[in-house]
Chains A and B, each alone.
Chain A
Amino acid sequence: MLTSELIYCQPVLNPSLTDVTGTNVNIISKVLSLVEKTVIQSESNSALIVGQRGSGKSAIVKQALQMVSEQNHPFKVIHLNGLIHTDDRSSLREIALQLDSGSSGRASLRTFAETLLHLLAVLQGGDRTGTPLIFILDEFDLFTQHPKQTLLYTLFDLVQSQPQPMAVFGITPRLDAVELLEKRVKSRFSHRQISVYPPAQFKSYLQVARNALEVGIHDSRNRKIASTPYRTDFNAVVSQLFEHSDFVRLLRRQFDFFRDISSLHRILIPMVAALDADSPYLRLDIFQASVADQLVDMKIETIQDISLLELCLIIAMKQYLDQGIIKFNFEMVYDEYKTLMGRSGSVSGSGMKLYKKAVALKAFEHLLALELIRPLESGGNLENDPHLRASSSIMSTAGGGSRLASSNILKEFTMVQLLLEPSHIEEAVLKYPDCPPLVAHWGTNAL
């Protein structure tokens, strides 16, 4: 209830309230002047805006466009996103849609060529002559993967050759994005590059955090909101927070690790989301708890939850690693596991038993499902069959591939690789709940 009330005025909940100018004055003015050149002085332009994830690129562009639109000059913005418009066909369709938003549905029926022609016709004249066009290509690097880069080529070429004013802004986290352009595309690009950085000083980082939490006096349409006693108190509590050393220390930690604003928002939001009628003000203890919830090494946690048998198998694999052997299959691991269990007479006393192969195989497959081990593609087994090899590599590029592969070979023999460092294993063994001393010994000592 409370956050829905705050959403009108609190930036962390409502990104459109964020004023990103504070730390980015220079960058915004650069972007702004480029846009103004196109919109007001009818000059065409192209530029890349580069910066790490969450550094505020999209927000900066948005704000610059907002500022221009307040000057009452006509212009049209076309937003494309490389994640959504994954080929030239869909990009063109989207451009067409955004250009004549009146007759939206129909344009999508056009063919590739028709859409292109339509686009060019709109650009070249007709009733729209002169309306400056601003293209924003978010995730710019993904557009370079379109076959032949036709879209990029067309746009950059138009920027150079058309009388109609237009600007193309690419947004990307890749510093080497220009190098992804084909030669003929590259030669048409202005090579103007604007870098965006997250705040460099902790002080400005703190200021961003404070701005994000404090409720403002404007809503997202920039209308003034009346101040209420609750809002005044709320901001007073925020001020107190920033005087608390533990709060500042935790923010400092986040700053030293990440620095970008998205990650700052990530740790602040739980505290805000937890507000309710019973506790209407931000609470340090909730902040501390939610930060602690996030400070985990997931791999080690995953190992702590596996069964003792699975842990023993991992330790058996570690024995191989210690000998410099990095590829093994289930048979080899089970053999080593048997050796371990047989090595020390005290096994019987410790209540551990040697599990049958089939039970161990089930455990082994569970480790695969958790992606603690990974089947090796080549496996050394697909010797002469290019078909098989090709298909298996397609599957594994897709990411998953945790199955003990292929109909081609008994799963016991598929070679796998352990995706854990020996030091990880040692740490996990030491933390494993109720670990029998014997297993702890195996896990931490090279035998």
Chain B
Amino acid sequence: MTASTVNLTLLRRSAAQRFPGREPQVDQLLRYLGQPADTSPPFLFIYGHESTGKTSIVRFILSEIFDSTHAAYISCVECYTPRLVFEHILKQLGDSHPSFETGFLSNVKCDSMQEFISFMRRLDGAHQLPRYIVFDNAEKLRDMGPTFLPAFLRIAELTDIPTTIILISCVPWDKFRPRNGIQEPLLVRFPIYGKEDTMKILALKCPSDEPLDFYLSFISVVYDVFSRNCKDINELRHLVALLFPKFCEPLFDGRAKRSEVPKLFRLCQTYFAAAADKLYLREISSAEWLRHIRVRRPGDDSDDNSSDPEDSGTSILGNPIESDALHLRIKTKLDFDLPYYTKFLLIASFLASYNPARLDVRFFSKGKESTSYSKRGKQAIQKQMMSNTGGKHRQQLLGPKSFPIERMLAIFYSILVDPIENSIEIQSQIASLVTLRLLVRTSNASQLDGIKCKCNVSYELIRHISHSVQFEIENYLFDFI
């Protein structure tokens, strides 16, 4: 046992500085792990929601205590097959001991648990310090076969070298237990941060040229606005990084002073509102966001392309920016164009997917009757069936049913304003809708007749499409709210 010792008190202190709000977790981990030569509990399970610092803290602590040949870190997202897992572990644990016996490990091939165990036995046989294997995103381990994790938990028993397995996951341990029983871990919980801790963490990234108090008051509001639906540090950081320049903007064009914090908030309120969905949902990329709401800071034109005429043009007026960004969103979401008849095919599919077939005759009478008839018809039908409309099991909520193509075509012909003379193209248009995944085939692919499909398009999109061809789909839908 020739391991060096680590000053745990110092380590505790430096971890506390880097990761505010995680002192209890750091303490707990240090208590379990101890010095490099110390034996640790065989099995730890670290869990907590996204961005609670699990990965960063575990990696920090391990790298400070152990040298890399005693602690392997595996991200199960990157290593998604048993083979990748084995080879990555062996690579890390074997790396810095190039010798005749272990030298071949740099391009080691290891396919099975059996080989892995025998490699592990041979590794570093001389001084058998405890080993650590960390599996991040451990929920993915369950995809690697039912014996994979249980076998890893036996490594110490099978190799006779103390080995600690550490799992990191967002999913609680309950979801890992296989039917055949398994060793139970010691739990380490990383709870979500409260407001105070969140502010401390975000404040670490305070720009060096801004006063901390000013930055804190800004963060505090961001937290209050967004914490109801999102407490994720990474998301908040993203929002802060993109909103803070907007918040400061009036300082540079002289509309407000640093002391007038409430005024600053009023001025940037629209951006907060826009950020709530556009940024949070990543409907526009941060680059686009910056481009669309970039402003010129007077006297600060060292900034790359702030002299771009388009950019500065939009920003002076204030509001156009907002509508511009909004416009952009509609476009990205709904902007794809289909040929005229294809649109009608899609509309007909939507109707066939959501309306009960028995009402087709009443909605879509063939002859020359106008839509007003159908409208009346619809009201009558709804009244007649009032008892089971508007419920929680209406088709609108349940999603599309599948329908035979023939039914959809019947609807298609009846909703077309001008009758179509040549219908040869129709089949290929249906096929292309299937390729686009706007229609989904539900019948067996080998089956040639009696094809069934369902419409895979949201209500918003179909409304947008039908309006583009002046078709009022609302009047033809049964039991929609």
Residues of A in contact with B (beta carbons under 8 Å apart): 1-4, 7, 13-14, 52-54, 58, 81-86, 90, 93-94, 139, 141-142, 173-174, 262-263, 266, 269-270, 273-276, 286, 290, 293-294, 296, 298-299, 301-302, 304-310, 320, 325, 328-329, 331-332, 335-336, 352-353, 355-356, 358-359, 362-363, 369-371, 381-387, 398-400, 402, 407-410, 412-413, 433
Q: Which of B137-165 contact A (CB under 8 A)?
A: 139-140, 142-143, 145-147, 150-151, 154, 157-158
Instruction: List, in ascending order, chain A residues with CB within 8 A of B5's CB.
Output: 1
Subset of 19 A-B contacts with CB under 8 Å: A1-B38, A4-B35, A4-B38, A53-B183, A83-B147, A83-B154, A84-B154, A273-B40, A286-B31, A293-B187, A294-B186, A296-B187, A305-B192, A332-B393, A332-B397, A332-B398, A370-B172, A384-B444, A400-B143
- Across the interface, name the chain B residue whose C-beta is closest to A2: B38
Instruction: List, in ascending order, chain A residues with CB within 8 A of B147's CB.
Output: 82-84, 86, 142
B97-105, B173-181, B213-221, B289-297 - interface stretch: B173-181
Give the complex CA separation of A90 and B118 in angstroms: 13
For chain B, the bracket of interface size reads 35 or more
Asked whether any CB of chain A lies closer than 8 Å to the CB of B189, the reply is yes
Instruction: List, in ascending order, chain A residues with CB within 8 A of B276's CB.
Output: 359
Instruction: List, in ascending order, chain B residues with CB within 8 A of A82's CB.
Output: 147
Q: A83-B154, A273-B41 are in contact. Are A1 and B35 (CB under 8 A)?
A: yes
Q: Is there contact, CB below 8 Å, between B392 and A325?
A: yes
Q: Is there contact, CB below 8 Å, between A4 and B41?
A: no
- Across the interface, name the chain A residue whose C-beta is closest to B115: A108
Q: A305-B191, A332-B398 are in contact. Are A4 and B181 (CB under 8 A)?
A: no
A175 to chain B, nearest CB (A): 12
Asked whether any CB of chain A lies closer than 8 Å to the CB of B47, the reply is yes
A386 to chain B, nearest CB (A): 7
Q: Is there contact, CB below 8 Å, between B180 and A141?
A: yes
Give the complex CA separation of A58 and B160 in angstroms: 14
Give the complex CA separation of A361 and B101 in angstroms: 54
Q: Is there contact, CB below 8 Å, between A399 and B187?
A: no
Residues of B in contact with A (beta carbons under 8 Å apart): 1, 3, 5, 8, 28, 31-35, 37-41, 47-49, 112-114, 117, 139-140, 142-143, 145-147, 150-151, 154, 157-158, 170-175, 180-184, 186-189, 191-192, 194, 227-231, 276-277, 280-281, 283, 392-393, 396-400, 402, 437, 440-445, 447, 452, 454, 456-458
Q: Is there contact, CB below 8 Å, between A359 and B392?
A: no
Instruction: List, in ascending order, chain B residues with CB within 8 A of A385's CB.
Output: 441-445
Contacts A398-B143, A407-B437, A413-B399 known; list 13 others, CB within 8 Å.
A1-B37, A4-B35, A84-B154, A270-B31, A273-B32, A273-B33, A276-B8, A304-B191, A305-B48, A307-B231, A331-B396, A371-B139, A410-B458
Contact of A3 among B34, B112, B171 (CB under 8 A): B34
Q: Is there contact, CB below 8 Å, between B151 and A83?
A: yes
Instruction: List, in ascending order, chain A residues with CB within 8 A of B188's CB.
Output: 293
- Across the interface, name the chain B residue whose C-beta is closest to A263: B184
Instruction: List, in ascending order, chain A residues with CB within 8 A of B39's CB.
Output: 3-4, 7, 13-14, 273
Q: Is there contact, CB below 8 Å, between A320 and B458?
A: no
Q: A276-B8, A302-B172, A410-B458 are in contact. Are A381 and B399 (CB under 8 A)?
A: yes
Instruction: List, in ascending order, chain A residues with CB within 8 A of B194's CB.
Output: 433
Contact of B181 among A85, A173, A407 (CB under 8 A): A173
Contact of A355 among B3, B187, B229 (CB under 8 A): B229
Instruction: List, in ascending order, chain B residues with CB within 8 A of A353's CB.
Output: 228
B465 to chain A, nearest CB (A): 15
Instruction: List, in ascending order, chain B residues with CB within 8 A of A410's CB.
Output: 399-400, 456-458
Give the complex CA separation of A385 and B454 in angstroms: 13
Instruction: List, in ascending order, chain B residues with CB within 8 A of A302's CB.
Output: 49, 172
Instruction: List, in ascending order, chain B residues with CB within 8 A of A308's CB.
Output: 228-229
Q: Is there contact, CB below 8 Å, between A336 and B440?
A: no
Q: Is there contact, CB below 8 Å, between A298 and B172?
A: yes
Instruction: List, in ascending order, chain A residues with CB within 8 A of B117's CB.
Output: 84
- Across the interface, name the chain B residue whose C-beta is closest to A4: B37
Q: A54-B183, A298-B187 are in contact. Are A409 and B456 (CB under 8 A)?
A: yes
Contact of A370 among B146, B154, B170 (CB under 8 A): B170
Instruction: List, in ascending order, chain B residues with CB within 8 A of A412's CB.
Output: 399, 458
Instruction: List, in ascending order, chain B residues with CB within 8 A of A293's CB.
Output: 28, 186-189
Give the complex CA separation of A413 and B452 in angstroms: 18
Instruction: List, in ascending order, chain A residues with CB within 8 A of B392's CB.
Output: 320, 325, 328, 332, 335-336
Q: Is there contact, CB below 8 Å, between A83 and B280?
A: no
Q: Is there contact, CB below 8 Å, between A331 and B228?
A: no
Q: Is there contact, CB below 8 Å, between A86 and B180?
A: no
Instruction: List, in ascending order, chain A residues with CB within 8 A of B440's CB.
Output: 408-409
A399 to chain B, nearest CB (A): 3
